[in-house]
Amino acid sequence: MPEPQSDVVSRVDAMYQDYAGRAKELAGQGARFIGYVCSFVPLEMIAASGCFPFRIRGDVHEPITKGDTLLETIVCPFYRSCFDLMLKGKYDFASGVVIPHACDSMVRSYDVWNYALNLPYTHFVNVPSVCGDSALRFFEAELISFKQSLEKYTGVSITDEKLAHSIRAYNLNRKKARDIYALRKTHPPAILGSDLVKVLSVGASLPVEESNELFDQVLQACSGANKTDAQSGPRILIDGPCLDNMDLIKLIEDCGAQVVGDTTCNGARDHFPLTDEIRPPVQALADRYLNKLNCPKTYRDNQAGTFEKDADNRFGDIESYAKDYSADGVILYVYKYCDPFGFEVPARKTYLESKNIPVLYLEDLYSSGATGQLKTRIQAFLEMIG
Amino acid sequence: MSDEQKANKPKKRMTATKAAASIGPMVKEFIAGTLKAREERSHKLAYTFIVCHHEEILRALDVLPIWTENFAGICGAKRDAERFLQRAESLGFSRSLCTYALCGLGFDQWREELGEMPPEAPWGGQARPDMMISSGQILCDPRAKWYQAAQQYMPDVPIYNIDLPHPLYDPKNDHKEQWAYYHKYIVEQLRGLVSFLEEQTGKKMDYDRLSELVELTEKTWNLIHETYELRKAVPTPMGTGDAMNTMVPMCFNMGTQVAYDFFVNLKKELEEKIQKGEGEVAEEKYRLMWGGGLPAWFALKDFNYFNSKGASFPVETTYRMVAPLYEMDIPDAKDPIERIAWRWLGYWNFWFDRARKRPGSHPDVERLINHIENYKIDGIVMHEAFSCRTWHVGLIWQLNQLAKIYKPIPVLSLGQNGKQQTKHCELPSLILESDIIDITSYSEADTRNKIDAFIETLESLRQNRADSK
Amino acid sequence: MQPSIYAGIDIGSTMTKAIILHDEIVAQVIGPTGAEHRSLAFQVMETALEQAGVDIQSISYIVSTGYGRINVPFADKQITEISCHARGIAHLFPTAKSIVDIGGQDSKAISINSAGRPVDFVMNDKCAAGSGRFVEIIADTLGIDLSEVGATSLRSDRPARISNICTIWAQQEVAAQIAAGESVENILAGVHDALAGKIARMAKRLRLEGPVVLTGGGGKNPGLIAALSRHLGYEVLVPKEPLITGALGAALLGRELYEKAIKNNTPIATQPRLLDRVKLY
Q: With an 8 Å Cβ cutoff, is C233 touching chain B?
A: no
Q: Give me chain B's average pLDDT, please.
A: 93
Task: Name the least confident of A86-95, A313-322, A359-368.
Answer: A359-368
Q: With an 8 Å Cβ cutoff, is B112 touching chain A?
A: no
User: What pLDDT band is residue B205 in, cutting at 50, 70 and 90?
Assistant: very high
Q: Which residues of B touch C169 (CB under 8 A)?
A: 443
Greatest mean pLDDT range, A171-180, C96-105, C115-124: A171-180
Q: With an 8 Å Cβ cutoff, is C83 touching chain A?
A: yes
Tell me the nearest-neighbour CA distance from C202 into chain B, angstroms.
6
Task: Name the least confident of A294-303, C24-33, C260-269.
Answer: C260-269
B393:A299 CB<8 A: no
Q: What is the pLDDT of residue B443?
A: 84
Q: Which residues of B touch C163 (CB under 8 A)?
A: 82, 439-440
Q: What is the pLDDT of residue C173?
A: 80
C208: nearest CA partner in chain B: B90
Q: Where are the alpha helices (DSSP H) in A18-132?
A: 21-28, 43-48, 77-87, 104-108, 110-117
A374: nearest CA partner in chain C: C125
Average pLDDT over residues C127-131: 72
Q: What is the pLDDT of residue B410?
A: 78
Q: What is the pLDDT of residue A263?
A: 97
CA distances from B380 to A112, A259, B428, B449, B456 (A): 20, 50, 6, 17, 14
Q: Give me chain A's average pLDDT, please.
A: 94
User: What pLDDT band is residue C164 in, cutting at 50, 70 and 90?
Assistant: low
Strands (E), B53-210: 63-67, 131-134, 159-161
B397: nearest CA partner in chain A: A70
B440: nearest CA partner in chain C: C164
Touching subunits of A (3+ CB pairs, under 8 Å) are B, C
Whether the ω angle into residue C211 lies within 30 degrees of 0, i.e. cis, is yes
Q: With an 8 Å Cβ cutoff, is B90 touching chain C?
A: yes
pLDDT per residue over A332-348, tens digit each? 999 999 999 999 999 99
A124: nearest CA partner in chain B: B168
- Which stretch of DSSP H or E encloses residue B218? helix B207-229
CA distances from A243 to A107, A198, B62, B386, C32 (A): 20, 11, 47, 24, 39
Average pLDDT over residues B300-309: 96
Please give the radius of gyration of chain C, using alpha carbons only, rounded to the nearest integer. Answer: 20
Q: What is the pLDDT of residue A329?
A: 97
Question: Strands B420-425 and B409-414: what pairing?
Answer: antiparallel
C204: nearest CA partner in chain B: B90
Tell me the nearest-neighbour CA distance from A78 into chain B, angstroms.
15
B101: nearest CA partner in chain A: A343
Q: What is the pLDDT of residue B136?
A: 74
pLDDT per residue over A65-78, tens digit each? 899 999 999 999 99
pLDDT per residue over B137-185, tens digit each? 778 999 999 999 999 999 999 999 999 999 999 998 899 999 999 999 9
Q: Which of residues 143-162 of C touch B (CB under 8 A)?
A: 158, 161
ipTM rounded to 2 decimals: 0.95
Q: With an 8 Å Cβ cutoff, is C164 touching chain B?
A: yes
Q: What is the pLDDT of residue C41?
A: 81
Touching subunits of C (3+ CB pairs, under 8 Å) are A, B
Closest in C158, C164, C201 to B86, CB measured = C201
B93:A129 CB<8 A: no
Q: What is the pLDDT of residue A232?
A: 73
Check: CB of residue A288 under 8 Å from CB of residue A273: yes
- Which stretch of DSSP H or E encloses residue B195? helix B176-201
pLDDT per residue over B214-262, tens digit each? 999 999 999 999 999 999 999 999 999 999 999 999 999 999 999 999 9
Average pLDDT over residues B297-326: 96
> Does residue B7 register a pLDDT over 60?
no
Instruction: Please give the Cα distance from B148 to B216 (Å, whole number).
Output: 32
Q: What is the pLDDT of residue B444?
A: 87
User: What pLDDT band is residue B469 in, cutting at 50, 70 and 90?
Assistant: low
User: What pLDDT band is residue B9 in, cutting at 50, 70 and 90?
Assistant: low
Q: What percent of chain A has pLDDT over 70?
A: 97
Check: CB of residue C243 under 8 Å from CB of residue C77: no
Check: CB of residue A237 under 8 Å from CB of residue A185: no
Q: What is the pLDDT of residue B10?
A: 54
User: What pLDDT band is residue B1 in, cutting at 50, 70 and 90?
Assistant: very low
> Does residue C169 register a pLDDT over 80?
no
B146:A343 CB<8 A: yes
> Does residue A245 register a pLDDT over 90?
no
Q: Which residues of C touch B439 (CB under 8 A)?
A: 163
CA distances from C208 to A245, C115, C123, C202 (A): 34, 17, 14, 10
Q: What is the pLDDT of residue C198?
A: 86
- Which stretch of DSSP H or E encloses residue B430? strand B429-434
Q: With an 8 Å Cβ cutoff, is B178 touching chain A?
A: yes
pLDDT per residue over A19-43, tens digit each? 989 999 999 999 999 999 999 999 9
Q: What percent of chain B has pLDDT over 90?
A: 85
> Does residue A230 register a pLDDT over 80?
no
Q: Which residues of B touch C202 (CB under 8 A)?
A: 89-90
**Residue A318: strand, helix, or coil:** helix
Q: What is the pLDDT of residue B2?
A: 47
Q: What is the pLDDT of residue A223?
A: 81
pLDDT per residue over C173-222, tens digit each? 888 888 888 899 999 999 899 889 889 888 988 888 889 999 999 999 99
User: What pLDDT band is residue A229 in, cutting at 50, 70 and 90?
Assistant: low
Q: With an 8 Å Cβ cutoff, is B218 touching chain A?
A: no
Closest in C165, C169, C205 to B443, CB measured = C169
Average pLDDT over residues B98-115: 98
> Does residue B421 register a pLDDT over 90?
no
B169:A137 CB<8 A: no
**Beta bridge partner(s), residue C121:** C110
Instruction: Please give the Cα distance from B394 to B383 (Å, whole number).
Output: 12
A353: nearest CA partner in chain C: C120
Please give the radius of gyration of chain A, using alpha carbons only, rounded to the nearest integer. Answer: 20
C172:B445 CB<8 A: yes
| For testing contact with chain A, the best of C120, C124, C280 (most A CBs within 10 A) | C120
Q: What is the pLDDT of residue B131?
A: 98
Non-local (6+) Cβ contacts of A17 within 8 A are none
CA geometry: angle at C32 spanning C29 and C37, to 5°? 125
User: Smallest Cα–Cα separation from A106: which of A337, A371, A377?
Assistant: A337
Q: With an 8 Å Cβ cutoff, is C87 touching chain A?
A: no
Instruction: Please give the Cα distance from C244 to B35 (Å, whole number).
Output: 54
CA geometry: angle at B31 spanning B27 and B32, to 5°? 115
HEC string of A320-359 equals HHHHHCCCCEEEEEEECCCHHHHCCHHHHHHHHHHCCCCE
pLDDT per residue over C35-61, tens digit each? 665 678 888 999 999 999 999 888 999
Tell me the nearest-neighbour CA distance from A196 into chain B, angstroms.
30
C176:B445 CB<8 A: yes
Q: Where are the alpha helices (DSSP H) in C93-208?
A: 132-142, 149-154, 167-179, 184-203
Q: What is the pLDDT of residue B290?
A: 98
Between A370 and A281, the higher pLDDT residue: A281
Q: Which residues of C touch A376 (CB under 8 A)?
A: 67, 80-82, 123, 125
